[in-house]
């Protein structure tokens, strides 16, 4: 019985090769793998000695041969297969150890297109798929992580059918991932929209999480390798393991603060912003964000778009928080924050944009990520907003983009003072936002209001006028836009249309 060994990642494969040899397998290899095994003291037969055909095209074709694939795919429980093998001189191959050319790594090295094509493995996936298909007879190993335990089981003579099925399924998963990675990467490289009738998205598991949204749900953190940045690439510097909910909130909070150039802080709870503010320093931004809704800030996720210094760390330490995210932390700030053993401190390196995917029964919904702030900034009222109001309107509309629909944000002087989210009517979201602002003692006179979708009626304008809100920003596009504009003009409220809706469900 023969065993083919052809691996790109060679470290540790000699242990498995020795185990196969001791189990009675004749080792077959070629090129660098054959040289490596010989240096480790193993006797190896060259592939071309089996096929009686030389490698051609700089090794592009070496194992793609009927003698190799016939030896793998032959069924020893089918008499006709055995007769064909005997007639053609095909010897059975009982084990295949293969891993693939590192297309993923080479893609990110920015190789010239023709160079990159050389790292698309053809023979390797064919060997793995053939071996996995015939797992009853052929042992297939595709992952270097499996070399050790497979070697041990071979020494013990304890490879079970379940082990074979596990290894076969892993091989199919590996080739599926590899092909999907190539497809998506080349779609980007060739600048071709790869949303074909049938396509795949590459993901790899970074590990199982403690649980999902609730303790009875299993959950995993999956990474798209083609996204160079994002929450999956963030570094946990300190604290407890991140949870499923932590990842959701952390991602939303950092996306939000990344909208701003000046120091910004966002406090997020249950994937909704509860306080967002700008400041001259991270400390000032945090205090202003916390004061927006001090009740909801307790147990929240706090994100900064700037380094966290010692002053900010001392303020953060006084509040119970789940997670803190920032691009950098001063050394002394870390010393202060690390006093809280369970506090998760995350270094976030930046964002990348790909697709937004949601699960529905029977399938998935896929859309582009919402990366547009607004298409226009059109003043449609008689009164024009002041320069200060313009700043607050833009700020509020950016925050509104990250609040769950129906969403309303009231802002003043570069911070939120009331946020209403997730209501089934927009005017109820406005009532919630006003009630919060009043509860925490904010003066609504001169504040601005942002709505992530159009105002369907003028009732929201009437409410704004009652409490002194002086400017409104919304997408526009309602059949009652004229009524809304007239209501704003009656009350001297400035009204801006953006032409861009930001539903978030």
Whether 124 and 249 map to the same domain: the answer is no
- Give the domain extent around 258: 229-347
Q: Is residue 486 part of a domain?
A: yes
Over range 32-50, report the average pLDDT. 91
pLDDT at 150: 97
Distance from C-alpha of 181 to C-alpha of 471, rounded to nearest angstrom: 48
Predicted confidence band at 395 (pLDDT cuts at 50, 70, 90)?
very high
Q: Is residue 223 part of a domain?
A: no
498 has pLDDT over 90:
yes
* Residue 21: active-site member: no
pLDDT at 56: 80
pLDDT in tens, 113-140: 999 999 999 999 999 999 999 999 999 9
Whether 176 and 240 map to the same domain: the answer is no
pLDDT at 353: 83
Over range 160-174, report the average pLDDT. 97
Q: Is residue 215 part of a domain?
A: no
Q: Which two tokens stand for residue 28?
A: 């077959």
Q: Which of 189, 220, 240 is the last residue of a domain?
A: 189
438 has pLDDT over 80:
yes
Whether 342 and 490 map to the same domain: the answer is no
Buried b (16+ CB within 10 A) or exposed e, 353-384: eeeeeeeeeeeeeeeeebeeebeebeebbebe
Output the CA torsion 238→243→248→254 (10° steps). Answer: 0
Looking up tokens 């150039």, which residue turns up? 261
Whether 134 and 184 map to the same domain: the answer is yes
Q: What is the CATH number of the domain that holds 121?
A: 3.40.50.1380
Whether 331 and 403 map to the same domain: the answer is no
Catalytic residue among 82, 106, 133, 317: 133
Closest CA to 302 of 437, 393, 356, 293: 293
Q: Which residues of 376-456 form beta strands (DSSP E)?
A: 378-379, 408-411, 416-420, 448-451
Query: Computed from CA positions of residues 467, 472, 478, 481, in that sequence, does the dihedral angle turn out positive or negative?
Result: positive
Over range 272-294, report the average pLDDT. 96
Whether 158 and 267 map to the same domain: the answer is no
In Å, how far are 2, 61, 227, 408 from 51, measured between CA atoms?
Answer: 13, 12, 42, 71
Distance from C-alpha of 75 to C-alpha of 70, rounded to nearest angstrom: 9
Q: Is residue 71 part of a domain?
A: yes
Whether 36 and 88 map to the same domain: the answer is yes
Q: What is the percent of the chain with per-residue pLDDT over 90, rounded to a whole number?
A: 88
pLDDT at 52: 84
Q: Is residue 342 part of a domain?
A: yes
**Is the backbone of residue 479 left (phi > 0), alpha (psi -120 to 50) or beta?**
alpha
pLDDT at 154: 96
Pairing of strands 45-46, 26-29: parallel
Whether 184 and 237 map to the same domain: the answer is no
Name the least confident of 33-37, 126-130, 263-267, 349-353. 349-353
Q: What is the CATH number of the domain that holds 335?
A: 3.40.140.20
Predicted confidence band at 47 (pLDDT cuts at 50, 70, 90)?
confident
Concatenated DSSP letters of 149-169: HHHHHHHHT---HHHHHHHHH
Whether 425 and 297 map to the same domain: the answer is no
pLDDT at 221: 96
Over range 434-463, report the average pLDDT. 96
In Å, how far are 24, 67, 331 from 2, measured between CA atoms?
Answer: 9, 12, 58
Q: What is the percent of the chain with per-residue pLDDT over 70, rounded to a whole number?
A: 100
Distance from C-alpha of 335 to C-alpha of 317, rounded to nearest angstrom: 11
**Which distant-in-sequence residues (6+ apart) come within 8 Å of 261 by Cβ?**
none
Output the CA torsion 167→103→367→451 (10° steps). Answer: 110
Catalytic residue among 82, 270, 340, 438: 270
| 377 DSSP β-pair partners | none
Predicted confidence band at 20 (pLDDT cuts at 50, 70, 90)?
very high
Q: How many domains does the chain contain in total?
A: 3
| 103 DSSP β-pair partners | none
pTM score of the predicted model: 0.89
Whether 392 and 448 map to the same domain: the answer is yes
Q: Which of 163, 189, 215 is the last residue of a domain?
A: 189
Over range 53-61, report the average pLDDT. 80
Q: Which of 164, 189, 214 is the last residue of a domain?
A: 189
Distance from C-alpha of 400 to C-alpha of 409, rounded to nearest angstrom: 6
Distance from C-alpha of 483 to C-alpha of 146, rounded to nearest angstrom: 69
Whether 319 and 462 map to the same domain: the answer is no
pLDDT at 57: 82
59 has pLDDT over 80:
no
CB 411 within 8 A of CB 395: yes
Give the three-class secondary structure for 220.
strand
Q: Is residue 201 part of a domain?
A: no
Q: Is residue 439 part of a domain?
A: yes
CB 330 within 8 A of CB 310: yes
Give the three-class secondary structure for 352.
coil
**Which distant-in-sequence residues (6+ apart) come within 8 Å of 99 by Cβ?**
7, 8, 9, 124, 142, 143, 144
pLDDT at 58: 77
Query: Computed from CA positions of residues 270, 271, 274, 277, in that sequence, does the dihedral angle turn out positive or negative?
Result: positive
228 has pLDDT over 90:
no
pLDDT at 247: 95
Distance from C-alpha of 145 to C-alpha of 9, rounded to nearest angstrom: 11
Closest CA to 253 of 233, 238, 231: 231
Pairing of strands 300-304, 363-368: unpaired
CB 338 within 8 A of CB 238: yes
CB atoms within 10 A of CB 266: 31
Q: Is residue 340 part of a domain?
A: yes
* Residue 133: active-site member: yes
495 has pLDDT over 80:
yes
pLDDT in tens, 335-381: 999 999 999 999 999 998 888 999 899 999 999 899 999 999 999 99
Over range 299-308, report the average pLDDT. 96
pLDDT at 193: 85
Whether 45 and 168 map to the same domain: the answer is yes
pLDDT at 54: 83
pLDDT at 484: 96
């Amino acid at each position: 019985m023969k065993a083919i060994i052809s691996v790109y990642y060679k470290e540790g494969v000699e242990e498995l090769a020795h185990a196969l040899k001791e189990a009675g397998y004749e080792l077959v290899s070629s090129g660098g793998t054959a040289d490596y095994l010989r240096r480790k003291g193993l006797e190896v037969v060259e592939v071309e000695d089996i096929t009686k055909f030389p490698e051609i095209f700089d090794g592009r074709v070496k194992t793609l041969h009927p003698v190799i694939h016939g030896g793998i795919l032959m069924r020893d429980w089918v008499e006709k297969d055995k007769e064909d093998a005997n007639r053609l001189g095909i010897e059975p191959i009982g084990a295949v150890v293969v891993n693939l050319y590192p297309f993923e790594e080479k893609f990110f090295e920015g190789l010239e297109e023709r160079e990159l094509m050389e790292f698309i493995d053809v023979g390797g996936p064919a060997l793995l798929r053939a071996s996995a298909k015939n797992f009853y007879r052929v042992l297939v190993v595709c992952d270097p992580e499996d070399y050790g335990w497979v070697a041990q089981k071979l020494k013990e003579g304890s490879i079970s059918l379940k082990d074979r099925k596990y290894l076969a399924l892993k091989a199919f998963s590996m080739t599926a991932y590899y092909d999907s990675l190539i497809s998506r990467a080349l779609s980007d490289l060739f600048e071709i929209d790869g949303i074909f009738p049938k396509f795949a998205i590459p993901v790899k598991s970074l590990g199982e999480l403690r649980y999902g949204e609730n303790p009875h749900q299993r959950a995993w953190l999956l990474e798209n390798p083609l996204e160079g940045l994002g929450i999956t690439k963030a570094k946990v510097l300190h604290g407890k393991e991140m949870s499923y909910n932590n990842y959701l909130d952390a991602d939303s909070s950092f996306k939000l603060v990344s909208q701003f150039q000046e120091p910004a802080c966002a406090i997020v709870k249950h994937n909704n912003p509860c306080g967002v503010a700008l400041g001259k320093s991270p400390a000032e931004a945090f205090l202003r964000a916390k004061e927006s809704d001090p009740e909801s800030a307790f147990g929240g996720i706090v994100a900064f778009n700037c380094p966290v210094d010692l002053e900010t760390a001392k303020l953060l330490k006084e509040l119970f928080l789940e997670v803190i995210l920032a691009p950098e932390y001063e050394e002394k700030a870390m010393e202060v924050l690390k006093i809280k053993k369970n506090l998760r401190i995350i270094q976030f390196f930046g964002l990348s944009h790909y697709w937004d995917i949601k699960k529905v029964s029977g399938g998935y919904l896929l859309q582009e990520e919402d990366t547009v702030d607004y298409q226009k900034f059109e003043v449609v009222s008689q009164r024009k907003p002041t320069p200060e109001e313009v700043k607050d309107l833009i700020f509020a509309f950016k925050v509104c983009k990250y609040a769950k629909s129906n969403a309303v944000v009231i802002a003043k002087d570069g911070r939120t003072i009331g946020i209403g989210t997730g209501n089934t009517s927009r005017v109820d979201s406005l009532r919630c936002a006003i009630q919060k602002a009043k509860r925490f003692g904010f003066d609504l006179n001169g504040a601005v209001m942002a709505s992530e979708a159009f105002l369907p009626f003028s009732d929201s304008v009437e409410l704004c006028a009652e409490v002194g809100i002086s400017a409104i920003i919304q997408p526009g596009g309602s059949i009652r836009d004229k009524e809304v504009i007239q209501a704003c003009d009656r009350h001297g409220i400035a009204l801006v249309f953006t032409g861009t809706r930001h539903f978030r469900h």
